[in-house]
Structure 1
Amino acid sequence: MEEVHGLMEMATGYSLKVEILFMNPSMVITIGFKWLALDHSSSNFFEMPKPAYYTTASNLDYKEITPGPKLRPYIECFWVCQGNSGQDGYIEEILVPGGRTEIIQADTSFVWYNSEEDRADHMEPGAIILGQRNKVSRIVISQGFRFFGIRFRYGCMPLFIKVSAKEYSNRILKLSDYLTCGEMSLLDNTPPLIDNNFIQDIEHCLFDLIKPPTHDWYILQEIIQSLNNRVEEQTSIHSLAKEHGWNYKKIERVFLKYLGFPPRVFLKIIRFRNALEKMDNSNGSLTNNAYRLGFYDQSHFIREFYNFTGMNPSNFFRETPLLANFLYRLGTKG
């Protein structure tokens, strides 16, 4: 794991690693090599945001911030990704699906290629909903950029907007079509640097939007946990539904409402995510890894992997896309 020394050591008195930024009363973090001091001395209804993950590669910087305790069950993280197009004049990145929904504020226009529908959407600067995806897609950016994002946990976006998750599966949509002008107006013009005050204001807006989870939602979260625990097994959706007192029609209806996909599709997504995380440090053969990770055989594994990345496993880990590397911590474990 790469270590960051020099200026970081001088500013904080600690030797920090690229994944984790330690906390102290006057913490210093770096975003694109600009120093920003954060004051953690005040107390508030929301816990101060914690920079949980930071990394940089080539001409991209990526940072995650842990939400406060009130929103942590529903939001995985806030994040910032920024960079410039470099000598080539543009950045083209593969977006590997992870099954989660995000709200993203973009300060520049970009082109999003939806491989499922073979369609290119040209998006102007502003706030968007990036729906949960089960297909590989691509993004092309042709100038300096910064994205601020809110990554929701599985099944949590419908608690904030009154729309079934299946309406935005594999789609990219304008946030203004689903929320009124005042509900998330902070995203209309994000500040030059994302600081504590901005994150806390966003958290207050989100907390005002959230609807009380239903009984079905809580059961769904138990089922998701069961699937994660058994992701490397040949799991029967019918048996899992029965364990929680549901029939298959019920579990499929709830999955479509909150996750946007039927149970079998969602299981493929989390099995793929698990494969990405486990394969990175694995020296085993594709056949052994396929069986170990819950796939029927090597051809099944390669077919599913290609569906999610547009590449076979060998090429993917040899030429790992930067954003996938950031999101899945590939190459930083060990």
Structure 2
Amino acid sequence: MNFSLQEYPPSALLSPFVECYWKGAFNLNAEGAVSFQMVPNACLELIIHLDDLRCNFPGTEDWVQTPDYMIIGLITQPHEIRFPSTVPVFTIRFKPEALYHLFRFNGSEIIETYEDMTLLLGNDIRDFCHQIREESQVERMIQRAENYLLKKLEKRKGEPGYVNQAAELIRNSQHINIRDISDHVCVSQRQLERKFREVVGVSPKHYLRLTRMNRVMRVLEQNRSLSLSSVAYYCGYFDQAHFIKDFKRITGLNPTFFHKERQKFIVLPGQVYIDEPLYGT
């Protein structure tokens, strides 16, 4: 595989908002431009390029070089990304509602796209990203990120709002309906759906579909010898046709073909911990 990365967990105080930190590099062989399909992972990615080499996204007519410091919004379908040479990055993977809670910025404004973080949030985020680039050790990068985000969190005192609570319920429940969620967070279903779409960028039902497929991806990453039918069942799919339909909708491919062509895809699923044995051949 022509890329490598290592994930690191956030502190307990930031875990409601940060999925993980990761450091990695793409196009390790640097033998000309390399393209990958980036698979949706139900998260947002704040990407800090660690040197002057950056990735490229498709533009209206040609490939466009991305900013030094960018946020990739929630995506619901695969997106192609190209690396002209070896591109090292440090990334903060946010849960989608975190952008609003920490920065008062709605995820709906960057759905299916990316933006320059310095244009969105100004000098504060630019200075932070500059400091990350000055560090050579990933532990120091993480410590700087933790300090920066904890200061943001301190300014937003109080418990997370009902959108945060609803999103967490969805992530931790394989079978839950929107009425149950609205009852749990004590708002009307209509109000929940409106605010959730504004803050996260998609409806609660759509986000549930993304998180379930994200779980599929994580289980496949951790248990590559398992059969697809075993993975589907474990992740809450009791109908193979439904599983295949969702898989193709989110990755663009049949699951069997995807499994064979895995090296062509960037799969960065959020944390899913296996809490029971999985069996399959």
Shift in Å, 1:214 = 6.0
Are 1:183 and 1:209, in contact at CA under 8 Å, matched by a contact in 2?
Answer: no
What TM-score results when the alignment is normalised by the length of structure 1? 0.69
Question: Cα distance 1:83–1:266, how it changes in 2: closer, same or farther (>3 A)?
Answer: closer
CA separation of 1:62 and 1:304: change in aligned 2, threshold 3 A: same
For 1:123 and 1:68, locate their aligned partners in 2 and report how far apart those are by CA, in whole Å.
33
Aligned partners of 1:207, 1:119: CA distance in 2, in Å?
41
How do 1:303-322 residues align onto structure 2 when only pairs under 5 Å count?
Answer: 303-321=245-263
Instruction: Name the CA distance, whole Å, in 2 between partners of 1:230 and 1:202.
Output: 29
List runs of 5+ in structure 2 lacking aligned partners. none
Cα distance per residue 1:88-145 (max 9 Å; x no partner): 412211211111112111232322249xxx8866134510011111111121101121
Aligned: 1:267 with 2:208: yes
1:222 and 2:165 equivalent? Answer: yes
Taking the aligned partners of 1:213 and 1:171, their CA distance within structure 2 comes to: 30
The CA RMSD measured in Å over matched residues stands at 3.2
Once the 2 structures are TM-superposed, how far is the Cα of residue 273 of structure 1 from its aligned partner? Answer: 1.4
Cα 1:292/1:90, change in 2 over 3 Å:
same
Change (3 A) 1:59 1:324: closer
Greater CA drift, 303-312 or 290-299? 290-299
The residue type equivalent to 2:210 in the other structure is I
Between structures 1 and 2, the one with greater strand share: 1
1:184 Cα offset (Å) = 3.7
Name which of 106, 124, 129 aligns with 1:164.
106
Aligned to 1:283: 227
Three-state SS of the structure 1 residue aligned to 2:69 is strand
Greater share of helix: 2
* Structure 1 residue ranges without an equivalent (≥5): 1-57
**Secondary structure of the corresponding residue to residue 79 of structure 1:** strand
Contact 2:69 2:129 (8 Å CA) reproduced: yes
Structure 2 distance, partners of 1:170, 1:177, is 18
Identity %: 21
- Counterpart CA distance in 2 for 1:62 and 1:293 is 25
d(CA) in 2 for partners of 1:312, 1:267: 20
Q: Partner amino acid for 1:297?
A: D
Partner of 2:103: helix, strand, or coil? coil
Using the TM superposition, give the Cα deviation of residue 224 of structure 1 relative to its aligned residue in structure 2, in angstroms: 3.0
Structure 2 partner of 1:193: 136
Amino acid in the other structure paired with 2:187 = W
Which one has more relative contact order, counting CA pairs under 8 Å at least 6 apart?
2
* Residue 117 of structure 2, aligned match among 151, 175, 182: 175
Report SS of the residue matched to 1:321: helix
Amino acid in structure 2 at the alignment position of 1:155: E
Per the normalisation by structure 2, the TM-score is 0.80
Question: Residue 44 of structure 2: which of 85, 90, 101 is its match?
Answer: 101
74-83 vs 186-195, greater mean Cα deviation: 186-195
- Matched positions, count: 267
Name the SS for the 2:88 alignment partner: strand
**Contact 2:46/2:72 (CA < 8 Å) preserved in 1?**
yes
Larger Rg: 1
